Amino acid sequence: MFFKKKKPETSARKAGGMDYTLVRSARRTLALQIREGGELVVRAPHRTPLREIEDWIFKKRRWIERHQNRFEKIAGHAPVYRDGAAHFYLGTRYPLGIIKGVRHRAELRDGVIILTLRGAPAPEKIERALKAWYLEEARGVFEDRLSKLFPPFAGRNHDRPEIKIRWMKSRWGSMGREGVMTLNAKLMLKETGLIDYVIVHELCHMEHMNHGREFYALMDQMLPGWKGRRKMLKGDL
Which of 22-26, 35-39, 205-209 shows the lowest per-residue confidence on average (mean pLDDT)?
Answer: 35-39
Query: Could you report the per-residue pLDDT of 91-143, keeping only the tens digit for each?
Result: 888 999 999 888 888 999 989 999 999 888 889 999 999 999 999 999 999 99
Domain boundaries, the chain: 9-74, 86-131, 135-233
**What is the pTM assigned to this prediction?**
0.68
β-bridge mates for residue 108, sequence order: 113
Question: Does position 157 have pLDDT exceeding 50, yes or no?
Answer: yes
Average pLDDT over residues 177-182: 91
CATH architecture of the domain 135-233 equals: 2-Layer Sandwich (3.30)
Percent of the chain with pLDDT over 70: 91
pLDDT at 1: 45
More confident residue, 21 or 204: 204
